């Protein structure tokens, strides 16, 4: 039995190179998860990681338990206090990253490093639970490079080199693994539901909301991520007709507008519509975790597994938790609900009492001035916005209890929510049925891809007023203040507030890059179980079952292994660079009279050469030791060490032979 104390490791401590690479690996994991964690946790973990790196460079050894245990307890309590539990995507990721950084406090042996690298690779993969886009996936893959470099640094006789030279072998390994990864992607059976649990709270806020309070669209208007892509059967509609309906809101409480899930009218069927012009198109919608499906105003029917509501909104049967494509036919020129029933009229005129007295007074003045001419009152309101000193801004002043009064007669600044809300209140106060509609407006027409790119920043709100003989008519009061919002898009309407966004070069690059993202969404993220079952359709197999996929996966894996083995063997037999360098050294020594005899091993030969060339004894002994280590200490000599040996052989110049 050994006399060592129990619990102590017999492994020698790792060198600073391996520890530095492990710290870099963990720093990349922390950076990749930084946007998903609370800022204070990011800061604390970064300080712990930096302190541990600095502390070990001064003196190796484990951090005392009286420091580690309180940190572990504090981490667990912090996750529970912030998230309410440790189960779920966000708290689970926070706990995993925190434990990974704390693992560094007790990392001193080779085993500790290997455990840390394995744990870091798992933490890298968890980042894909938050974002599976092309850039995020590429960053996760590149994050494996320092992990592979750390493992290589544990191998014996690794010559120190630059960070770039340390990462290059890992890049080669990743490139060699791509064919097998592609094979697994295509043939490993897909699950019908994700492994991770239900969507979290922050997922549910993605996209448009079923309520609208002036100011709450700001986050969407500054969100540059794609919301949906629209392909048309034929030419796209002009910019002034690119309105995508989501929620129709009737209920106003004095502060904001709300969507009522139950139909506001007694009708159970969609409102009647007379169509003058229609268009067919297809929408590829990003996950919103909501049921509403944006449609080009106004849809004539609902797609499969969705319903057309009374106000011609479209709602899916279940939340859109994955990318969804659906085809639609919409009217561009129409008369929507030419006649209005009494219940709908009452709902379209309802206002809470005790709010916005100055707005009511202005509406009454218009009614007295224009009599029964509702269209004239609409024009008067639009003229007010156009000529009344109003401005478009994404950072408006806050509003008080009488929000519409404050906006119309005080601040006179805001964006689409402010204008649509104030306009609709004015119309109701003047006796004109009106409602608010939220959705998207505009988008970028991608000529190269042949589709309309609609981003979250294209979120918009407008009004609909009911006019006799015309039905519900769309009125966009924001266009009266800033026509560029409709003709040129949301970025143009923001003016100097988003000057960087309007840069032609940057905007063109972003929109062209979206073609790549679209391919990734359709070809990779959208590769589901249904598409996998039709994988062999071009070869006459209509439905590829799990058994067939398993057979193909096994055959493909065997083929991949056979090709890799044949390549490795052929490379080894055709060229042995270490042996070639030794032959070069032998030739140089032979020209000075030190020839290698038959059956003489490299060790004895180089020892004899060192005795024969005493002035270069140390150099020859170093070459002998390097050769023996490279030949017999590894299955394959490390590339860095091999290149160092080759360089030393090329630079060796025998001087003279002592007789």
Q: Which residues are catalytic?
A: 416, 460, 476
Q: Report the distance separating Cα 13 and Cα 16, nearest Å.
A: 9
In Å, how far are 156, 357, 364, 408, 466 from 368, measured between CA atoms?
94, 17, 6, 20, 19
68 cis-preceded (ω within 30 degrees of 0) = no
Q: Report the distance separating Cα 12 and Cα 192, nearest Å.
A: 48
Quote helix, strand, coil % in the chain, to nearest 5: 55, 15, 35
258 strand-pairing partners: 211, 251
| Strand, coil or helix: 655 | coil
Q: Report the distance separating Cα 10 and Cα 110, nearest Å.
A: 11
Q: Report the distance separating Cα 262 and Cα 317, nearest Å.
A: 15
- Please give the backbone phi and psi of residue 320, each rounded to the nearest 5 degrees, phi first: -85, 90
475 strand-pairing partners: 463
Q: Report the distance separating Cα 294 and Cα 7, nearest Å.
A: 63
- DSSP of 540-562: T-S---HHHHHHHHHHHHHHHHH
Q: Report the distance separating Cα 545 and Cα 285, nearest Å.
A: 29
Q: Which residues 6+ apart lie within 8 Å of 397 measured at CB? A: 410, 411, 413
Q: Report the distance separating Cα 337 and Cα 274, nearest Å.
A: 8
Alpha helices per DSSP H over 439-495:
477-481, 484-487, 490-494
Please, what is the Cα angle at 307 between 304 and 313, to 5 degrees? 120
CA proximity to 338, closest of 473, 445, 144: 473
Radius of gyration for the alpha carbons in the chain, expressed in angstroms and rounded: 35
Q: Report the distance separating Cα 96 and Cα 279, nearest Å.
A: 50
| Strand, coil or helix: 628 | helix
Q: Report the distance separating Cα 152 and Cα 159, nearest Å.
A: 11
Give the chain's count of helices (H) and strands (E). Answer: 25, 17
Under 8 Å between Cβ of 126 and 132: no
Q: Report the distance separating Cα 325 and Cα 282, nearest Å.
A: 7
Q: Report the distance separating Cα 425 and Cα 325, nearest Å.
A: 36
Under 8 Å between Cβ of 627 and 649: no
Q: Which residues 6+ apart lie within 8 Å of 495 measured at CB? A: 392
Residue tagged 């930096």 (tokens): 50
């Amino acid at each position: 039995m050994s006399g060592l104390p129990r619990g102590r490791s017999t492994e020698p401590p790792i060198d600073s190179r391996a520890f530095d690479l492990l710290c870099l690996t963990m720093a990349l994991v922390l950076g990749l998860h930084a946007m998903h964690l609370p800022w204070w946790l990011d800061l604390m973990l970064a300080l712990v990681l930096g302190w541990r790196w600095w502390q070990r460079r001064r003196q190796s050894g484990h951090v005392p338990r009286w420091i580690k245990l309180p940190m572990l307890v504090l981490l667990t309590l912090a996750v529970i206090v912030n998230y309410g539990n440790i189960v779920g995507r966000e708290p689970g990721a926070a706990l995993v990253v925190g434990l990974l950084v704390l693992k560094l406090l007790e990392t001193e042996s080779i085993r500790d490093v290997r455990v840390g690298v394995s744990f870091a690779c798992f933490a890298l993969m968890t980042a894909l639970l938050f974002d599976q886009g092309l850039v995020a996936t590429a960053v996760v893959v590149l994050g494996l490079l320092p992990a592979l470099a750390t493992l290589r640094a544990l191998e014996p006789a690794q010559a120190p080199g630059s960070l770039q030279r340390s990462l290059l072998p890992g890049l080669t390994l990743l490139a060699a693994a791509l064919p097998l990864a592609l094979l697994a992607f295509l043939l490993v059976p897909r699950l019908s539901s994700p492994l991770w649990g239900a969507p979290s709270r922050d997922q549910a806020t993605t996209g448009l909301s079923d309520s609208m309070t002036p100011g709450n669209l700001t986050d969407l208007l500054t969100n540059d991520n794609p919301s949906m892509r629209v392909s048309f059967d034929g030419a796209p509609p002009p910019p002034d007709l690119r309105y995508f309906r989501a929620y129709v809101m009737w209920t106003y409480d004095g502060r904001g507008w709300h969507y009522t899930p139950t139909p506001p009218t007694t009708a159970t069927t969609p409102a009647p519509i007379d169509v003058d012009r229609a268009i067919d198109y297809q929408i590829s919608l990003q996950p919103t975790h909501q049921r509403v499906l944006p449609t080009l105003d106004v849809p004539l029917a609902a797609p499969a597994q969705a319903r057309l509501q009374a106000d011609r909104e479209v709602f899916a049967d279940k939340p859109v938790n994955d990318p969804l494509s659906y085809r639609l036919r919409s009217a561009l020129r129409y008369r929507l609900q030419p006649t209005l029933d009494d219940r709908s009229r009452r709902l379209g005129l309802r206002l809470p009492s005790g709010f916005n007295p100055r707005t009511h007074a202005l509406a009454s003045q218009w009614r007295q001035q224009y009599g029964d001419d509702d269209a004239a009152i609409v024009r008067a309101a639009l003229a007010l916005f156009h000529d009344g000193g109003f401005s478009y801004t994404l950072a408006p002043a806050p509003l008080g209890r009488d929000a519409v009064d404050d906006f119309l007669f005080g601040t006179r600044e805001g964006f689409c929510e402010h204008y649509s809300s104030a306009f609709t209140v004015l119309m109701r106060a003047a006796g004109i049925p009106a409602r608010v509609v939220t959705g998207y407006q505009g988008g970028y027409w991608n000529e190269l891809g042949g589709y309309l790119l609609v981003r979250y920043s294209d979120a918009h709100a407008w009004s609909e007023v009911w006019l006799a003989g015309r039905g519900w008519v769309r009125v966009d009061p924001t266009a009266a203040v800033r026509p560029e919002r409709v003709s040129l898009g949301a970025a143009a309407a923001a003016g100097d507030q988003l000057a960087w966004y309007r840069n032609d070069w940057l905007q063109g690059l972003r929109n062209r890059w979206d073609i790549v993202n679209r391919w990734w969404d359709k070809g990779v993220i959208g590769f589901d179980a249904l598409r996998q079952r039709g994988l062999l359709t071009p070869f006459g197999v209509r439905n590829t079952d799990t058994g067939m996929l398993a057979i193909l996966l096994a055959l493909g894996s065997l083929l991949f292994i056979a090709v890799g083995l044949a390549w490795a063997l052929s490379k080894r037999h055709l060229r042995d660079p270490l042996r070639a360098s030794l032959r070069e050294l032998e030739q140089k020594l032979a020209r000075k009279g030190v020839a290698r005899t038959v059956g003489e091993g490299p060790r004895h030969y180089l020892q004899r050469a060192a005795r024969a060339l005493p002035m270069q004894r140390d150099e020859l002994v170093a070459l002998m030791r390097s050769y023996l280590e490279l030949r017999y200490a590894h299955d394959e000599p490390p590339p860095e060490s091999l290149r160092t040996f080759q360089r030393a052989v090329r630079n060796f110049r025998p001087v003279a032979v002592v007789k």
